[in-house]
Structure 1
Amino acid sequence: MAISYNGLWKLLIDNEKKKMDLINDLGISSSTIAKMTRGENVSLSVLEKICEEYDCDFGDLISYDRRHKK
């Protein structure tokens, strides 16, 4: 698992939001949330929706860790 969405999870906590809020407020599917929870790839359009909602950049949401490269 080379992709980490820890930035997104921290952003949600800081904004007192839950993963369900991404589903309900932004229309992101539960399967996409599950992929992010497992550190899997998701489309840039999903990340774009989140960035627009929370006024942030992709780098605020995700990071890449070479040590966990598949």
Structure 2
Amino acid sequence: MRISYNKLWKLLIDKNMKRKDLQEKANISSASIAKLGKGDNITTDVLLKICDALDCTLEDIMETIKD
């Protein structure tokens, strides 16, 4: 089982935002954005910053996928 952040990327498109915009608005590092892009592990602190910046919940930006 793995985590997918496809919902996050779709949400950014809906909000007409780029990854750089998210980085600045959520005050997260470019390394965190890169990890999200690769589907790597990311801390819950970063995920909560993203949710706060986008006014959404964790369920709105990520999902689990069976391999």
Relative to the length of structure 2, the TM-score reads: 0.90
Q: Percent identity?
A: 46
Structure 1: gaps spanning 5 or more residues: none
Task: List per-residue Cα deviations over 1:24-47 (Å, max 9, x = no partner).
Answer: 222211111111101011111111
How many residue pairs align between the two structures? 67
Correspondence list, 1:51-62, <5 A:
51-62=51-62
Counterpart of 1:5?
5
State which structure, 1 or 2, has the greater radius of gyration over its C-alpha atoms: 1
Structure 2: gaps spanning 5 or more residues: none
> Where in structure 1 do 4 or more consecutive aligned residues deviate above 4 Å?
none
**In angstroms, what is the RMSD of aligned CA positions?**
1.3
Separation in structure 1 between the aligned mates of residue 46 and residue 15 of structure 2, nearest angstrom = 18
Separation in structure 2 between the aligned mates of residue 20 and residue 59 of structure 1, nearest angstrom = 22
Relative to the length of structure 1, the TM-score reads: 0.86
Amino acid at match of 2:51: C
Separation in structure 1 between the aligned mates of residue 23 and residue 50 of structure 2, nearest angstrom = 11
